[in-house]
């Protein structure tokens, strides 16, 4: 794992191959792997989902294989495997 920022990947105990950049990025991650979080609190809610990219979005506790960009205040973008071929 790579963590840059206060409390980044703070709760991790089994997750591997994650990259978190920003205050609290991937903070709640406990067992999730292969995730990327960029920005303050990015991916902070993720705890067990793998293969996510969260940019300026807190993510979901069990989200998997999803790209999330932005917050509700800036009209978020959500890309899931079902919409990308």
**Mode of pairing for the β-strands spanning 2-4 and 19-21:** parallel
Q: Give tens-digit pLDDT for 28-71.
A: 999 999 999 999 999 999 999 999 999 999 999 988 999 998 87
How far, in Å, CA of 75 to CA of 85, rounded? 23
61 touches 78 (CB < 8 A): no
The share of the chain scoring above pLDDT 70, in percent, equals 84
pLDDT at 26 over 90: yes
Closest C-alpha among 18, 61, 48 to residue 36: 18
- Split at pLDDT 50, 70, 90, the class of 75 is low
pTM for this model (two decimals) = 0.84
């Amino acid at each position: 794992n790579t963590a840059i920022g206060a409390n980044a990947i703070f709760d991790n105990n089994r997750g591997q191959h994650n990259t978190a950049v920003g205050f609290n990025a991937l903070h709640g991650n406990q067992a999730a792997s292969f995730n990327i979080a960029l920005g303050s609190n990015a991916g902070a809610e993720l705890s067990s989902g793998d293969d996510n990219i969260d940019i300026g979005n807190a993510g979901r506790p069990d989200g998997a294989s999803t790209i999330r960009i932005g917050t509700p205040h800036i009209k978020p973008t959500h890309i899931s495997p079902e919409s990308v071929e």
